[in-house]
A and B are shown apart, each in its own frame.
Chain A
């Protein structure tokens, strides 16, 4: 099981969409995928699969799982009770989703706000085992090839759990502006420091630029290369791998949808290639 966390410092950069697209592609390759929606204050994964997943299907999720341990003092026996399965068309292997919870109920939001993350993480002597056990349960009960985690934005205990505690690999998605790039830099720097390491080697990081306008004109392509090199130089001391680009086009911005159908026009095919 490889755990990949999708992180962005700011919202609105297409993080959940990128995760959903990757999940879809992996499922098409017959890989078993499990998704955790850890963006607990603004969960968005179920909406990305709204045609495959009934909104009433989600009764319990991660918040209920954590709440039961944190407030009721009992560790849930299984993770399956907190997850749902759905299948995409043309795929054989269903995707498992550990949603944030039933966000249509007031109970969800009450439970969420009563979780004291500081206490849970630093004052509970079993906090690390609690989160490692969550991963172990997923491995034993769902046994996915890939565990994809949609992280909370910003710098908080919630995002810290997703990127510093659970991830083998962190995909950092940033739009091309100063606040996004500065945030990405902070996180890459933090993840490279050994003092935050609790158990293993630091997670592999991948920097992704998103919402870059798709273009076929050679002139605009050249422009794109120029600013990518500039960003590369900016990140030089921290990050030496390739910077991945996810393009966007008008159609995508107008009607956000999973972009991996390869039977349509040119730009769609090219955006699909980004993945």
Chain B
């Protein structure tokens, strides 16, 4: 993931170099054809990865999205970085708002917020207007009086089916 303008410049430069290299390799005459094909495919794959990263960064920076969602709490660090980029704030801008040093934000982002203190993460999330859904705690799974003759194994396998199918219908032609 491209996290800042500097990385964006480096990646864009790399991308151009790969594109030139692919041109050169494909014009080479005096090489083993199989080898050439492998080389081209490898470079093409590399280009696709870089292009996707550049594309993601640009769509964030150009505010093409109305909101960004993370499905897992483990993706929160990436979401914090993406939200900053989407707001058009540099690491320096964010640091200023929080009255902390720019290097601090740089370090957080570099290590995906692994080194940030809990309250600091909450402050940054608030500054970036991250919304949290109600977070639930499971308390007791055996509260339910269910029909006799149904084993709990049967119910949990049916529940697993329900959770993975995510529909109560079978509509198709």
Known: A123-B163, A127-B159, A196-B167. 4 other contacts (CB 8 A): A121-B168, A157-B168, A190-B171, A196-B170
Among A75, A122, A186, the residue within 8 A (CB) of B162 is: A122
Residue among A128, A165, A193 with the highest chain B CB neighbour number at 10 A: A128
B118 at the interface (CB under 8 A from A): no
**In the complex, A125→B171 CA distance in Å?**
24
The answer to whether A133 touches B146 (Cβ under 8 A) is yes
Contact A198/B158 with A122-B163, A190-B170 known, Cβ cut-off 8 Å: yes
Interface presence of A73 (CB below 8 A): yes
**Residue-by-residue, is B61-77 near A (CB-CB < 8 Å gives 1, otherwise 0)?**
00000000000000000
Chain A proximity of B134: nearest CB distance (Å): 9
Secondary structure call for the B interface:
loop
**A130 interface residue per 8 A CB criterion:** yes
Which 8 pairs from chain A and chain B are nearest by CB?
A: A160-B168, A193-B170, A198-B158, A129-B144, A164-B168, A133-B144, A190-B169, A190-B170
Question: How far apart are the CA atoms of A193 and B144 in the complex, in Å?
Answer: 29
Question: Which residues, 97 to 154 on A, are CB-close (under 8 Å) to B?
Answer: 118, 121-123, 125-130, 132-133, 135-137, 139-140
- Residues of chain A contacted by B131 (CB below 8 angstroms): none
| Contact across chains for A186 and B171 when beta carbons are under 8 A apart | yes
Q: Quick check: A129 and B146 within 8 Å, CB to CB?
A: yes
Chain B stretch 109-145: residues in CB contact (< 8 A) with chain A: 136, 138-139, 141, 143-145
With beta carbons under 8 angstroms apart, the residue of B136, B138, B155, B167 that contacts A128 is B155
Cβ-defined contact, B158 with A130, below 8 A: no
Q: Which residue of A lies closest to B170 (CB)?
A: A193
Footprint of B on A, CB under 8 Å? Answer: 73, 75, 118, 121-123, 125-130, 132-133, 135-137, 139-140, 155, 157, 160-161, 163-165, 186, 189-190, 193, 195-196, 198-199
B152 to chain A, nearest CB (A): 9
Q: Tell me the interface secondary structure of chain A in the complex.
A: helix
Query: Does B154 count as interface, using CB distance less than 8 angstroms?
Result: yes
A198 to B155, CA, bound (A): 8
Nearest CB of B to A48, in Å? 27
Bound-state CA distance A128–B169 (Å) is 15
Q: A122-B163, A123-B163 are in contact. Are A137 and B145 (CB under 8 A)?
A: yes
CB distance from A95 to the nearest CB of B (A): 23
16 contacts between A and B (CB under 8 A): A122-B166, A126-B143, A126-B144, A128-B162, A132-B150, A132-B155, A157-B168, A164-B168, A164-B169, A165-B168, A189-B170, A196-B168, A198-B158, A198-B162, A199-B155, A199-B158
Residues on A with beta carbons closer than 8 Å to the beta carbon of B141: 125-126
Residues of A near B146 (CB, < 8 A) are: 129, 132-133, 136
Q: Could you tell me if B171 and A199 are in contact, using CB atoms closer than 8 angstroms?
A: no
Q: What is the CB-to-nearest-CB distance from A25 to chain B, in angstroms, rounded to a whole number? A: 27
